[in-house]
């Protein structure tokens, strides 16, 4: 017997939770999850983290901004409550465990999971659809949350069945195998509807006249390898509906740290000097993550987004001859990068920083001009800060800069996933 996977998605999860908490039906309620307190300060309005299924049904786009919702459509606005969503997600995971062992479950995101149901169909004397329907019904009875699902003979097909096919079925459940995939989706457009094909990849394929999966399957593979390198393998496999990765592969995978990053959409538009302050806070927090994970880096990057959408984002990166986790060294390097990359004449909307080429601290190195004793003392201090924050919370130790009016660290430390925790 071949493999059978389910990919289960919780419909507009955050918005559905807020509807359930209010005793409302998500399928008939106009509700958005957004922090409206940001609207005035951000000019163009806060982003809706989620909208109820009913709003989607009448044409409102998910992840829209508040101002994009037509004024003649009344709706409820719910402040994000990330801890509550995490509790619901845990309750739903408990439902999965009633039917499937944890070794056969991969939580892909807070609202989506893959389940390898292959050995359970014989156990329960059910078809894949029957088991899927039973799990979805249990989720609804336990939490009030509606779910959709894709069923596939591999992980990729289960995901595509969910993303593309299920939305067109009455039951919101769809099945795909390789033959059905080629028959029904080879000519599906646009390409970015398919899992792991973003708009960037779509535009690069368009250079060769490739518009659908059929085109990928029938073009000279050498062109794909020339354009995408080894990643062409994924495109070719997926064009035929193939996916070699299994649940066992996912469970056995152990990530090797290669990069760390931090991105922040500011609570309001920031001037140059104020944004520099926030960036310094971000660097310090990310350095402590390096310290906690016993890692060092020799490569940094910075990306700045502006409030004026007509002005493109700017950024720079830099490599060093040494590998370090020194907050002093890395902060100074980022300040230099900031001064080189940022246009002072535009207000700043977002900041992104990154450490690339991250490796174990055993590969730490120094320059001839470094005071090694001073570096070791700084390392001890950073380790102490990590221990204190782990025990007493991220705001247990603050610097003077964290108390300034435009600083964001204290507020962000109280958030979960960048959003209101409560």
Q: What is the pLDDT of residues 305-339, one digit of tens each?
A: 998 878 899 999 999 988 999 999 999 999 999 99
Give me the pLDDT at residue 402, please: 86
Rounded distance between C-alpha atoms, residue 410 and residue 422, angstroms: 16
Instruction: Among 249, 273, 295, give the residue marking a domain's end.
Output: 249
Give the span between the Cα atoms of 251 and 339, in whole angstroms.
44
Instruction: Check whether residue 98 and residue 209 sit in a common domain.
Output: no
Task: State whether 403 and 275 are in the same domain.
Answer: yes
**Residue 157 confidence (pLDDT):** 98
In a domain, 93, yes or no: yes
Task: Identify the bridge partners of residue 356 per DSSP, sorted by sequence position.
Answer: 259, 299
- Residue 64 is predicted with a pLDDT of 83
Strand order in the sheet with 31-33: 50-51, 31-33, 76-78
Residue 413 belongs to a domain: yes
Same domain as 147, residue 77:
no
Q: Quick one: pLDDT at residue 42?
A: 45
Number of structural domains the chain divides into = 4
Q: Which two tokens stand for residue 282?
A: 């971000």
190 is a domain residue: yes
Q: Are residues 146 and 263 in the same domain?
A: no
Residue 108 neighbours by CB under 8 Å, 6+ apart: 7, 114
CA 325 to chain centre: 25
Max CA-CA distance within the chain?
Answer: 71
Q: Where are the alpha helices (DSSP H) in 152-208?
A: 155-160, 178-185, 199-206
**264 plus 412 within the same structural domain:** yes
- 123 and 196 both lie in a single domain: no
Please return the burial class of 39, using the count of CB atoms within 10 Å of its CB with bins 0-12, 13-18 and 19+: middle
Same domain, 45 and 102: no
Domain end residue (candidates: 199, 217, 249)? 249
Same domain, yes or no, for 200 and 345? no
Cα 195 to chain centroid, rounded: 14
pLDDT in tens, the chain (422 residues): 689 999 999 988 999 999 999 999 988 999 999 887 654 444 346 778 889 988 988 888 877 888 888 989 999 999 888 889 999 999 999 999 999 999 999 999 899 999 999 999 999 999 999 999 999 999 999 999 999 999 999 999 999 999 999 988 888 999 999 999 999 999 999 999 999 898 889 999 999 999 999 999 999 999 999 999 988 999 999 999 999 999 999 888 766 668 899 999 887 899 999 999 999 999 999 999 999 999 999 999 999 999 887 889 999 999 998 899 999 999 999 999 999 999 999 999 999 999 999 988 888 887 667 777 788 888 889 989 888 888 888 887 778 888 888 888 887 776 665 566 56
Indicate whether 68 and 217 sit together in one domain: no
If asked whether residues 314 and 287 sit together in one domain, one would say: yes
Q: What is the pLDDT of residue 420?
A: 61
Which of 81, 96, 123 is the endpoint of a domain?
81
Residue 391 belongs to a domain with what CATH number?
Answer: 3.30.1490.100
The conformational region for residue 241 under phi > 0 = left, psi -120 to 50 = alpha, else beta, is left
Are 268 and 393 contained in the same domain? yes
CA 266 from centroid of its chain's CA atoms: 18
Considering the domain architecture, whether residues 305 and 390 belong to the same structural domain is answered as: yes
Residue 361, token pair as written in the block: 């601290």
Residue 156 to residue 242: CA distance in whole angstroms: 7
d(CA 12, CA 29): 12
DSSP code for 416: E
* Amino acid 270: pLDDT: 94
Q: Could you tell me if residue 254 is inside a domain?
A: no
Structure tokens at 342: 């940022």
Structure tokens at 329: 């060294």
Domain ranges, residue 117: 5-11+83-182
pLDDT of residue 43: 38
pTM for the full predicted model: 0.71
Looking at residue 281, what is its pLDDT? 94
Looking at the domain assignment, is residue 89 inside a domain? yes
The pLDDT of residue 137: 97
């Amino acid at each position: 017997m071949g493999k059978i996977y389910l990919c289960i998605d919780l419909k507009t999860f955050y918005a559905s939770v807020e509807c359930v908490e209010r005793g409302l039906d998500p399928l008939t309620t106009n509700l958005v999850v957004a922090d409206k307190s940001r609207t005035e300060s951000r000019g163009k309005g806060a982003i809706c983290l989620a909208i109820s299924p009913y709003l989607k049904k009448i044409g409102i786009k998910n992840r829209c901004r508040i101002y994009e919702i037509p004024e003649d459509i009344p709706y409820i606005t719910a402040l994000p409550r990330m801890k509550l969503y995490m509790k619901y997600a845990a309750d739903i995971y408990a439902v999965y465990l009633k039917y499937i062992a944890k070794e056969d479950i991969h939580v892909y995101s807070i609202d989506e999971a893959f389940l390898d149901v292959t050995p359970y169909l014989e156990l329960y004397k059910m078809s894949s659809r029957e088991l899927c329907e039973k799990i979805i019904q249990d989720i609804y009875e336990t939490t009030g949350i509606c779910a959709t699902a894709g069923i596939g003979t591999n992980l990729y097909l289960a995901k595509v069945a969910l993303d593309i096919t299920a939305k067109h079925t009455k039951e919101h459940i769809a099945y795909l195998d390789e033959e059905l995939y080629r028959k029904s989706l080879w000519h599906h457009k646009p390409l970015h509807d398919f899992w792991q094909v973003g708009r960037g990849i779509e535009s690069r394929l368009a250079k060769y006249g490739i518009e659908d999966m059929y085109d990928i399957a029938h073009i000279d593979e050498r062109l794909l390898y020339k354009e995408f390198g080894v990643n062409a393998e994924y495109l070719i496999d997926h064009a035929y509906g193939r996916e070699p990765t299994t649940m066992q592969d996912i469970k056995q995978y152990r990530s090797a740290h290669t990069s760390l990053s931090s991105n922040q959409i500011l609570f309001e538009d920031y001037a140059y000097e104020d944004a520099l302050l926030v960036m310094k806070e971000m660097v310090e927090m990310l350095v402590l993550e390096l310290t906690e994970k016993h890692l060092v880096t020799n490569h940094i990057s910075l990306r700045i987004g502006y409030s004026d959408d007509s002005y493109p984002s700017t950024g720079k990166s830099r490599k060093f001859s040494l590998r370090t986790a020194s907050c002093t060294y890395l902060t100074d390097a980022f300040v230099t990068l900031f001064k080189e990359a940022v246009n002072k004449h535009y207000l700043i909307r977002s900041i992104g920083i990154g450490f690339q080429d991250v490796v174990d601290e055993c590969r730490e190195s120094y320059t001839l001009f470094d005071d090694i004793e001073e570096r070791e003392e700084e390392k001890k201090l950073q380790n102490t800060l990590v221990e204190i924050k782990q025990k007493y919370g991220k705001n247990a130790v603050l610097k003077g800069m964290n108390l300034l009016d435009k600083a964001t660290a204290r507020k962000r430390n109280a958030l979960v996933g960048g959003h209101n925790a409560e």
